[in-house]
Amino acid sequence: LFLSADPDNYLDKASTLDQLSVQQVAALEKIQGKQRTLAQQRKEASEKLSDLADTRTELKKKKEKVQGKLAEAQKLLNTLTAQERQEIADKEQRASRSASDRVDLGNEAPASGRGAAALAAAVTQIGKPYVSGGTGPSSYDCSGLTQWAYAQAGVQLTRTTYTQQNDGTKIGQSQLAPGDLVFFNSLGHVGLYAGNGQVLHAPYPGTSVRYESMSTIGSFQFGVRV
């Protein structure tokens, strides 16, 4: 300042440089803050992707396990003669209809008009045999029955348990109402909630469409309201 030929001009320049310096520091701090936020978001996204990959791997293993058991059951079923199969089917059908007559479904209000219509349609299929890949109307597997039942109500569900879980809104066990989809055993099985803790479903090879208590089907996962 003392050596400057124009002290006023020097002070003006010094003030401008000081302001620029403050602005640069502020801008740098803002950029650094955004970089920290971005790094945190990347870390969280990476963790979520890792969790998703683990979940997919676990679901694949469980699906393969269930499919293996179904294949074993189907292999055993294939060893039966046509007469033996018919005798088993007739016996199962009589047992299913007899059990259905004794089932207490209570008086719970249906989940919706669609749910009520789907459940009513499924009731007409009681006694029809379980066949892997069956989509009706002569035989069903579990998701084939739910897909067929909702189709009678004018609603198109996807084909498998792993996709039907996304065909509506997930709900807890305490929220279930007749007509809701109910999923069990790590999404390996699906049925229709019928009321009073009962499920109408196509259980497994060698059985037929019937009512069954939720407590005996397996591990409940969640319900889906369509």
- Pair 164, 143: CB distance under 8 Å: yes
CA dist 139 and 82 (Å) reads 16
d(CA 127, CA 3): 107
Backbone angles phi, psi at 6, to 5 degrees: -130, 90
Catalytic residue among 201, 202, 205, 210: 201
Contact 96, 85 (CB under 8 A): no
| 156 is annotated as an active-site residue | no
* Tokens of residue 65, six digits: 């396990």
Name which of 140, 116, 117 is nearest 127 in CA terms. Answer: 140
State yes or no: cis peptide before 205, omega within 30 of 0. Answer: no
CA distance 223 to 175: 8
Residue among 128, 189, 210, 225 flagged as catalytic: 189
142 is catalytic: yes
Would you call 201 a catalytic residue per the annotation?
yes
Q: Active site residue: 118, 142, 171, 177, which one?
A: 142
Cα–Cα distances in Å, from 157 out to 14, 94, 123, 135, 167? 73, 30, 18, 12, 6
How many Cβ atoms sit within 10 Å of the Cβ of residue 24? Answer: 10
Hey, CA dihedral for 168, 174, 178, 183, is it positive or negative? Answer: positive
Active-site positions?
142, 189, 201
